[in-house]
Amino acid sequence: MRALVIIATAALAIGCSKPNEAGEKTPEAADKKATAPTPKAAEPPPASATVPAATKSMFAALPAGEVANPKNPVTEEKIALGRMLYYDTRFSKNHDLSCNSCHDLARWGVDAEATSPGHKKQRGDRNSPTVYNAAGHIAQFWDGREPDVEAQAKGPVLNPVEMAMPDEGRVLETIKSMPEYVAAFQKAFPDDAEPVTYDNFGKAIGAFERRLLTPGRFDAFLKGDDDALTDAEKKGLNLFVSTGCTTCHTGAYLGGHMYQKAGLVKPWPNEKDIGRAKVTGNDAEKFFFKVPSLRNIAKTGPYFHDGSVASLPEAVKMMAEYQLGKQLGDEDTQAIVTFLEALTGELPTDYIAKPELPASTDQTPKPDPN
Ligand code: HEC
Ligand code: HEC
């Protein structure tokens, strides 16, 4: 009932700008098919390359420009600083890791590892998700334990298996040892009496991440360019919907907007990580994870919170089986994968170019391999 109302409202909104093109069914038409004997009014079968308006309305184009945060307005100065901090290995204990080591911006924001080597090559338990389009999710991390990218950015630097800085003090000492950084903080936070703070370190990186968006053909399609997707991709999209993937993967990010159980209808093979239950202390949320975004999914494997699956077709089959209780054949799997490949957007090449970093001084703390 609720779903119907949502679909009806959304379809109405689309109907305003784009009145019922050939092949698109209004909800009224869809309702009539139950009673009216006209076979022509039937829903297009999943194998059709006609994408109904109600399907399009389940998704949305990526935001233009940036994912805004009123508490951290994006400015060019903050972005310029955040970009430097993102690439600077001197915010890791041994000066060998930056955010970009595990979230390589030239490689779709990931490192292509199941789990990432951090300080002294230690590995955490979870796969590195992409930083592209992450700012728009309901929360950060697989378990949503940080509210936004600003708060998230303060974590890895002090995490002993990631960048392993001993404390915030060492981070601030590192910044203050380089006059160019101090000047950049002053420019980015002109109203602050003391601009060099750990909070502002997070805010600058967060501001930079808020423009890491990758719009592509799917966005053009949703905005009305029907030729932006091939027939095979449209068929795959219809199958993605009719299989039930859109129970969880919807919206601008095809995910990123709710928590769901990994293994909803059949226990997930790896139950070591209880996911969200560890954050909320609520047993009912055992094995719940943030539903990941499927933007650029063909580029961001290996898959799942533990990086346990390398192949996208395999990941799709597992989703059908464990989340929906369905066995997908090879042909249907491939059709869905073909659609998922159309979710690959464009990398903002100029925006992500590595900037020149301030030179170290005698005061800059030295690398520490221990
Ligand atoms: C050693 C590898 C490593 C480094 C270095 C690292 N990260 Fe991560 N990052 C991860 C892993 C692993 C996760 C997932 C952890 C989890 O969910 O518990 C993650 C999660 C994230 C997320 C959440 C994305 C989402 O979809 O929820 C963001 C954003 C992010 N990192 C940004 C950064 C930034 C900014 C830096 C630098 C300050 C950084 N990371 C440094 C490995 C790393
Ligand atoms: C009931 C909710 C639900 C349904 C239905 C669902 N998914 Fe998922 N999906 C999730 C969750 C939760 C995860 C994260 C699981 C994990 O990492 O352990 C996920 C992960 C994925 C991943 C891996 C993402 C990554 O970054 O590693 C892909 C690909 C995927 N889903 C595709 C699909 C497809 C295709 C369908 C339909 C056949 C589908 N999903 C149906 C909830 C769902």
156 lines ligand 1 (CB under 6 A): yes
Q: How far apart are CA 106 and CA 353, in angstroms?
A: 9
Pair (160, 137) in one structural domain: yes
Averaged pLDDT for residues 18-45: 43
Share of the chain above pLDDT 90, in %: 87
Pair (121, 103) in one structural domain: yes
141 lines ligand 2 (CB under 6 A): no
Q: Please report whether residue 51 resides in a domain.
A: yes
Q: What is the pLDDT of residue 39?
A: 45
Q: Which atom of ligand 1 is nearest to the CA of 305?
A: 17
Pull the structure tokens for residue 218: 């799917």
Between these two residues, 25 and 65, which has the higher pLDDT value?
65
Pull the structure tokens for residue 13: 């909104």
- The model's confidence at residue 14, banded by pLDDT at 50, 70 and 90, is very low
Pocket test for ligand 1, best of 94, 108, 128 (most atoms within 8 A of CB): 128
Averaged pLDDT for residues 122-135: 97
Pair (152, 271) in one structural domain: no
Pair (219, 203) in one structural domain: no
Q: Please say if the pLDDT value at position 292 is more than 50.
A: yes
Averaged pLDDT for residues 172-184: 98
Whole-number Å distance, alpha carbon 240 to ligand 1 midpoint, is 29
Helices 168-176/179-188 angle, 10° precision: 100
Task: Say which residue the tokens 């490949």 belong to.
Answer: 341
* Burial status of residue 45 (CB atoms within 10 A of its CB: 0-12, 13-18, 19 or more): exposed
pLDDT tens for each residue of 259-279: 999 999 999 999 999 999 999
Q: What is the pLDDT of residue 48?
A: 85
| CATH code, domain carrying 6 | 1.10.760.10
Can you tell me whether residue 366 is helix, strand or coil? coil
Pair (205, 225) in one structural domain: no
Pair (172, 107) in one structural domain: yes
Q: How far apart are CA 150 and CA 145, in angstroms?
A: 13
Pair (105, 225) in one structural domain: no
Which of 174, 191, 209 is a domain's end point?
209
Share of the chain above pLDDT 70, in %: 88
pLDDT tens for each residue of 36-48: 444 444 555 667 8
pLDDT tens for each residue of 71-80: 999 999 999 9
Counting every residue written for the chain, the total comes to: 370
Q: Are 281 and 288 in contact (CB under 8 A)?
A: no
Q: What is the pLDDT of residue 47?
A: 73
Whole-number Å distance, alpha carbon 34 to ligand 2 midpoint, is 32
- In 36-184, DSSP assigns E strands to none
Give the residue numbers spanning the domain of 51: 2-62+215-341
Can you tell me whether residue 288 is helix, strand or coil? strand
Q: Please say if the pLDDT value at position 10 is more than 60.
A: no
Q: Please report whether residue 95 resides in a domain.
A: yes
Lowest mean pLDDT across 14-23, 251-260, 303-312: 14-23
pLDDT tens for each residue of 301-323: 999 999 999 999 999 999 999 99
Query: Residue whose CA is closest, atom 32 of ligand 2?
Result: 316
DSSP letter at 96 equals -
Q: What is the pLDDT of residue 268?
A: 96
Q: Please say if the pLDDT value at position 329 is more than 90.
A: yes
* Burial status of residue 242 (CB atoms within 10 A of its CB: 0-12, 13-18, 19 or more): middle
Averaged pLDDT for residues 28-34: 41
124 lines ligand 1 (CB under 6 A): yes
Pair (334, 226) in one structural domain: yes
Q: What is the pLDDT of residue 44?
A: 54
Pair (201, 80) in one structural domain: yes
Q: Please report whether residue 365 resides in a domain.
A: no
Can you tell me whether residue 326 is helix, strand or coil? coil
H helices of 127-275, in order, are 149-152, 155-158, 168-176, 179-188, 198-209, 217-222, 231-243
Q: Which atom of ligand 1 is nearest to the CA of 97?
A: 5
Catalytically annotated residue among 77, 113, 146, 162: 162
Q: Which atom of ligand 1 is nearest to the CA of 139?
A: 27
261, containing H or E segment: strand 259-261
196 lines ligand 2 (CB under 6 A): no
Q: How far apart are CA 43 and CA 299, in angstroms?
A: 33
Can you tell me whether residue 123 is helix, strand or coil? strand
pLDDT tens for each residue of 134-155: 999 999 999 999 999 999 999 9
Pair (96, 196) in one structural domain: yes
Query: Residue whose CA is closest, atom 11 of ligand 1?
Result: 128
205 lines ligand 1 (CB under 6 A): yes
Q: Please say if the pLDDT value at position 15 is more than 60.
A: no
Pair (251, 330) in one structural domain: yes
303 lines ligand 2 (CB under 6 A): yes
Pull the structure tokens for residue 342: 């159309």
* Burial status of residue 216 (CB atoms within 10 A of its CB: 0-12, 13-18, 19 or more): middle
Between these two residues, 93 and 29, which has the higher pLDDT value?
93
Q: Are 212 and 108 in contact (CB under 8 A)?
A: no
Query: Residue whose CA is closest, atom 10 of ligand 2?
Result: 291
Phi, psi of 123 (to 5 degrees): -115, 135
Q: Please say if the pLDDT value at position 196 is more than 50.
A: yes
**162 has catalytic annotation:** yes
- In the chain, DSSP assigns E strands to 259-261, 288-290
27, containing H or E segment: helix 27-32
Ligand nearest 97 Cα, by number? 1
Q: Please say if the pLDDT value at position 219 is more than 60.
A: yes
97 lines ligand 1 (CB under 6 A): yes
Average pLDDT, the chain: 90
Pair (113, 219) in one structural domain: no
Q: What is the pLDDT of residue 266?
A: 97
Ligand nearest 133 Cα, by number? 1
Q: Are 165 and 280 in contact (CB under 8 A)?
A: no
Total domains in the chain come to 2
Q: What is the pLDDT of residue 45?
A: 62
